[in-house]
Structure 1
Amino acid sequence: MFHALPKGTTLTTPCNTQTLIAPFKEDETTKAYQKPSVPGTTAQPVTLMQVPGTTSAEGTHTTLPKPSPPAGSATSSPRPQPVGHRSRELDLWSTTSYTSSQNSPRANPDCKVDLAFLIDGSASIGSRRFRIQKQFLADVAQALDIGPAGPLVGVVQYGDNPATQFNLKTHVSSRDLKAAIEKITQRGGLSNVGRAISFVTKNFFSKANGNRGGAPNVAVVLVDGWPTDKVEEASRLARESGINVFFITMEGAVEHEKPYVMEPNFASKAVCRTNGFYSISVPSWFSLHKSVQPLVKRVCDTDRLACSKTCFNSADVGFVIDGSSSVGTGNFRTVLQFVANLSREFEISDTDTRIGAVQYTYEQRLEFGFDTYSTKPDILNAIKRVGYWSGGTSTGAAINYALEQLFEESKPNKRKLMILITDGKSYDDIRIPAMAAHHKGVITYAVGIAWAAQEELDVIATHPAKDHAFFVDEFDNLYKLVPKVIQNICTEFNSRPRN
């Protein structure tokens, strides 16, 4: 809660203000971004501003010019405040100019990412804080080496509804990007962050908007306080579409305000991992500029952008396992070991790769679905517990069953992989079920053992069969297929458009 200052008191910025930033590796906190000076460059003149009656503990700063008030001023449609909610319109900066550090990190020429900033334009943020947010974007633009060979940046502003300020291909230099940021005017309205993330997932990262395909897609979401809609589901769908979602939250809810937050701990639940890499919490707008360097370091660390889709974290993998009498108990355990070895290769969670399994003879049985287990140890234990059934070999019926009982539960943005393992010829027709699987977009791998018919494997497998059908002459050689199957899954994944 803000308190009025006694008359005559001069507002000063505490020297020991600390930004609460999620944990880093040790080298992340001690090594600043460095770029050698470019010969022949000349420093641009800056405007110096000093708050009367105060002493800056942060050094000399630069300030963006104050923008003209937007049409339909943000203050004309304030966010409805629930009972007990702090007044978010109180402007504590009425006599203080926010400024950015002159010692901002230098450009990083090796940072090739497609980056979307989702900025808060809601009425509750106020005009001063909106200017601070723009200055933060300008500092990031200065820290990055914007261009076709490096990072590209676009901006979406959200309030009641999101709107693209400019896309990835609109500005291809840091200078042009900073000029465009200065011209952004505040929209007002509520803080509908979830709606904005959904908008970015569906519309922003397209080829028409400048998305390069091979560069990681990154969305940085700035939130003042907390959202007025739900964000966790929207963020999950964004991650499953290959977008690395970062959250920067300013002045989060204090204890008595938490009952009014729709999704407690939304920032940690909405991001890819819970290790703090994808979220930064800033206690005061005054210290937002301190997050420039940590943010730039993270979004440019392409080796650690684990949310981007890969062949290991983007699929629903359904195993269809032959449990017929010809397999036998001992060989069935060997097949299960093969299934476990393949499963170990994937990154398994409810937002990464999911595993399901069907066993079949004349009949079919769902051993576990895609949403039954969400960790690798649980999956491996479930595979170990599968009991041998014994019976005939109706492979066509098994494919239909897997499509209906397993892949109908697959998520829309997931690749669907069926890995069918059989040791003999089917007693029923496999052509029509195989065509149905291919028509539904299920990428099918057929693994044959011993008496399996090669012509049936080729029909079951996705075209070209040479990349999706495998054969070994005995069960004990199944383990040799693991690296080949995984390699072909990744080759197939990388050959298809990512977006």
Structure 2
Amino acid sequence: MIGGIQFVILLVTTAIFSVVENAVYHCRNGQETTQSSDGTAKSSGCSLRNDYFIFAEKNINLNIRSYNNNNNNNNNNDPGKEIAFVLDGSGSIDPPDFELAKRFIADVMTTVWSKCFNCKFAVVQYGDYVKTELSLKENDNRAKALTKVAGIKQITKVTITASAINHVLEHIFVKEDGSNDNSKKYIIMITDGRIYRDNMTLTEVLQNPKMKDITRFAIGVGPDVLNHIVALEEMRSIASDPDEKHFFKADDYKALPAILDSLQMSITGLDDPGKEIAFVLDGSGSIDPPDFELAKQFIADVMTTVWSTCFNCKFAVVQYGYYVKTELSLKENDNITKALTKVAGIKQITKFTITASAINHVLEHVFVKEDGSNENSKKCIIVITDGRIFMDAMNLTEVLQNPKIENITRFVIGVGPEVLTHTIALKEMREIASDPDDEHFFKLEEYSALETIVRHLQLAVTGIDDNNAHQQSFPSLPPHQ
């Protein structure tokens, strides 16, 4: 059963990498990473989101290129895109900053993969010598690819940037390394300073005929780039024209997240605001505790199944009984394990069935900017209940006529005889569900049958029919404490 799906976490560095979706880095103490008017990313004490290696330990195959979906990036006739990171590992970079650079690479990879199913990555590091750390051939198992990035050891010493770029031309974008002649190609350079002790010249490398049609981005980090005339000139030479679209400047390595969205858009051409899904969970007294646990397990199963095909989906859970409570907010999706643990720990409220108030709570307190909502994202509400509204101060029709509910897709799951055989309850369910009912209203005889609709709901939410999703290895809902 899908309830047996398991999420696995791999600790890859001293910090845990906390996917999908939407803001890639979050800052401590309410500080934010921003991009100034001159294009320079600035940061003050931000901590990095570290969740992108979470799938690695059990060899989970995230070969999204094999998914059968309607994304135009997954067209069999599309030769795809190949992106080569050229990572400065010279001695001028402090080890913690080198770790931040690796995490940034992983964030770009996962963010691009969420929108471009036919994109492949390579990573070349340089210092005293040049080394291919990840080849284009090593993208089929994306968990392993991320693990390889996590395991990169800094080379140190000199800064042979020209030789590293040349290495991409001679050893990465070649058929033997899995390159397709017809694919669009990108080079992304990340460095903290000017070239030093390189046997090759930058000009001769950039004039190599093999460089034709390759789009190049340069990311210059820190004062040795931003305040050095020669280094700035090198960055502008590396970056494709125009500079304002291809040359990114960051005050320090902690500021890299500020440029991620711009870089992703430059590569994919897609600005995807993602999807937000709010579960409205009936926790009233008519539901037996074991059935309430099954409802929680179902929510976790839907979350993991949707996440397997939609990296840019976020979830919230609102429970209702004699009051309404946000159990999981949209802001709490960065660490998938913690999100699932929060679902596991939900305590049943009991007593009344104030369904209308709970749906209104989603409109007023969940799908709002303060809770991490993006006004441009696609939004879904999924109500799970075992009966009609009881003792609710709000009127269902009034809530459903709220202008804020416009463009929100609503699913309702009615469970048990109090729904299936009760005229008023059925009327309420049909009123809640978006039209047509046969696509948005699920009727089940008991809570144990919830597992049978996980895949149907996943397809309805994501629009992606992933026949391999049930074969992936994800963690089960943590045990209720």
User: When the two structures are superposed, what TM-score results if normalisation uses the length of structure 1?
Assistant: 0.45
With a CA cutoff of 8 Å and minimum separation of 6, indicate the structure with the bigger relative contact order.
2
Structure number having the greater helix percentage: 2
TM-score by length of 2: 0.46
The structure that has the greater radius of gyration is: 1
